[in-house]
Structure 1
Amino acid sequence: MGSSLLLSNFPQISSANFVACEKSTKPKKKFQVGCFKTPNNSSWSQPSLPSCGVLHKSVPLAASVAFLLWSSPANAGLMSGFSGIESIPGPQLPQIDFLNRLNEDNQKKYAEFDERFKSSPLLKKLLEQSKLNKEKNRQEVQDKYCIRGAEWGVGDCSAEGMTPQDRENFIAMLKQKAGVK
């Protein structure tokens, strides 16, 4: 039933072109895919056993691909093309003068608080202290890496060409400058 339904949907495919594959005890020969005509006569010849496996795998795949490509899209009915409830604007709510005035007063009050805080001496002091700490921390990190580079003999602070005594003095001077013991 399935093959007759398939063939009725695809009239250009004739059922006479397909040959059923049978198991054979003959030794395997060359791979031949599909049905072929023999040069001696114009009749169809049965393919060899290995090509039957390929044929059995390729025909259902081809039919599935053809079915997918030729099928018409499904209609979703009422919901088809409907963009959704969120695209519809809600009703206009009544405006209450008391709430509008309260909202405006709160907005003004918050803006004043923000201005007062931004111009406060405490915030200015904290921002200045933050800038100083940032520079101090940057210098501490730079000194730490310079000391490490001198000890390992790499980087800008390398003590590679120095004598052992000069190297010790140089590293001690870097540690003293950085405040490291």
Structure 2
Amino acid sequence: MGCTSLPSFIQMSSATHSSFSEKLRNPQKKSQIVIPTTTRETHTTISWSFSSQCKALHKSVPLAASLAILLWSTPAHAGFMSGISGIEAIPGPQLPQIDFLKQLNEENQKKYAENDERIKSSPLMKELLEKSKLNKEKNRKEIENKYCIRGAEWGVGDCSTAGMSPDEREKFIAMLKQKAGEE
């Protein structure tokens, strides 16, 4: 790819412009480009070959465009159809009903309901449910006692021993452990 023209964002003085037109005729010759800086008196001189300028320009323009898109893009939204419900909201076509399968399904549902009711009312299931409730309460108490003892030892929580003397603290922790059945 040859570099035949410069982008419009590069502003050149007339001396610089003639230097560039000379470079177009003879690209291998090195030249000096005078670029004005912020003050009027000082100028910066850059010496490089025209072909390296074209290469640098061809590499920097896509990079600058990419950075501009990345930095100035708007935040992502749900999409251009964000207010429209998806295809899953549209009901599908009504499938043909097969009487044999429909009747078989109703019979199976009736059997399942009868079996569930029979199992729930059995004496064994009632006994197991009662044991489960009792175990749940017992386990809750054990966990509560364990955390109370730990809080007393560490001096935090509801069972904190922060304001007690060392003797009172030891007696309180021993009483909690006895109550919990650890000693």
Structure 2 length-normalised TM: 0.52
**Equivalent residue of 1:17, what SS?**
coil
C-alpha displacement of 1:128 = 2.6
Question: Are 1:148 and 2:150 matched, yes or no?
Answer: yes
Structure 1 letter corresponding to 2:5: N
Contact 1:36-1:45 at 8 Å conserved across structures: no
Structure 2 letter corresponding to 1:165: D
Question: Are 1:130 and 2:105 matched, yes or no?
Answer: no
Aligned length: 131
Q: Please name the residue that 1:45 is paired with.
A: 19
C-alpha displacement of 1:112 = 0.8
Question: Are 1:169 and 2:139 matched, yes or no?
Answer: no
Q: Distance in 2 between matches of 1:60 and 1:178?
A: 73
Structure 1: 4+ residue segments shifted above 6 A:
60-63
Q: Please name the residue that 2:23 is paired with.
A: none
Give the one of 17, 41, 51 matched to 2:5.
17
Where do 1:17-166 residues align within 5 Å? 17=5, 36-40=11-15, 43-46=17-20, 49=48, 51-58=53-60, 95=98, 97=100, 100-166=102-168
Please identify which structure carries the higher strand content: 2
Q: Deviations over 1:87-140 (max 9, x none)?
A: x97x958x474x554443322212211122223333333223222222221111
C-alpha displacement of 1:154 = 2.4
Q: Distance in 1 between matches of 2:169 and 2:64?
A: 80
Taking a change above 3 Å as real, the CA distance of residues 157 and 16 of structure 1, as seen in their structure-2 partners, is: closer
Structure 2 letter corresponding to 1:128: E
Structure 1 letter corresponding to 2:113: A
Q: Distance in 2 between matches of 1:126 and 1:144?
A: 26
Q: Distance in 2 between matches of 1:113 and 1:131?
A: 23
Percent same amino acid among aligned pairs?
59
- Cα RMSD (Å) of the superposition? 4.0
Q: Deviations over 1:127-176 (max 9, x none)?
A: 23222222221111111111112222222222233333322221111111
Which structure 1 residue ranges, 5 or more long, are not aligned? Answer: 4-14, 19-32, 64-87
C-alpha displacement of 1:34 = 7.5
